[in-house]
Each structure stands twice: as structure tokens, then as C-alpha cells.
Amino acid sequence: MFGVVDVVYINSMGWFYMGLGVFHYALYYSIDYTIYATIENGMYKQNNWFASKTNLTKAKYVKKFAGDITFVLHNKEVRIGSQMLNQESIDAVDQFIQQNEIPCEIIPVR
């Protein structure tokens, strides 16, 4: 009796963990990691499942330090790392800042 219960329990748990592994694999590879984030209509969203959207047009000012661009809002800061961006994307972010007339503070590297 106990041998049959153990085999059924192990068999069902094996299928559960195999299904969980397949679900994790599908979830991980369904996100396109080649695109770091998007800015559309002033809304910034990182490319992951539970990322919130942030309205960058309401930024008080922008800090630029060591190539990174930080949008300072009234309750948080959104930092965009320049290592993840190519030159065209950096130019597009600079153009977005100029179009929305957001004050920019450039902090020199010492």
C-alpha cells in the first residue's frame, strides 16, 4: 500500500515540477531582452512583466552623469543606463528632453 502511494505521489510531483519548469522557460524567453525599454507618447516602460509605466513629461528636471540619464519626478527617479543604449537611442532621448522642454542638469565627472 505504501509503495503504491509513494510511486503515485512522486510521479505526480515530477509532472508538477516539469510543468513548472516549462512554464518558467516560456515566461523567461517570451520577454525580448534585446529591447531594454520603450518611450512612447512620454510614457517610459521597462521591458519586463511587472514594470509600471512612468510619465516622463511630468519630470521636474533631468540629471546627466557619466552617460546615464536620470529623470527626477516629484516622488521618484527613473535612471536610464547608457551602457544599454546605442547612439541613436541616446539621441532620441535627448530629442525627447528638448521637445518637452525639461530642464537639464549636467554633472561633470571629476
Give the model confidence (pLDDT) of 48-79 as tens digits. Answer: 777 888 898 889 999 988 888 899 998 888 88
pLDDT digits 0-9 by tens, 93-105: 889 889 988 888 8
For residue 32, pLDDT over 70 is answered with no
pLDDT of residue 62: 92
* Count, residues in the chain: 110
> Residue 3's domain spans which residues?
1-30
Q: How many domains does the chain have?
A: 2
The more confident residue out of 83 and 96 is 96
Whether 66 and 47 map to the same domain: the answer is: yes
pLDDT of residue 33: 62
Cα separation, 46 vs 88, whole angstroms: 18
pLDDT of residue 9: 59
Whether 51 and 99 map to the same domain: the answer is: yes
Whether 15 and 63 map to the same domain: the answer is: no
Cα separation, 110 vs 46, whole angstroms: 30
Q: What mean pLDDT is predicted for residues 25-42?
A: 76
Tell me the CA distances in angstroms from 84 to 33, 97, 101, one per residue in order: 11, 19, 24
Whether 76 and 102 map to the same domain: the answer is: yes
Whether 65 and 99 map to the same domain: the answer is: yes
Whether 66 and 51 map to the same domain: the answer is: yes
CATH code of the domain in which 94 resides:
2.30.29.30
pLDDT digits 0-9 by tens, 2-30: 455 455 555 667 778 888 888 888 877 77
Whether 12 and 47 map to the same domain: the answer is: no
Q: What mean pLDDT is predicted for residues 19-42?
A: 79
Q: What mean pLDDT is predicted for residues 39-45?
A: 85
Whether 61 and 15 map to the same domain: the answer is: no
Whether 25 and 58 map to the same domain: the answer is: no
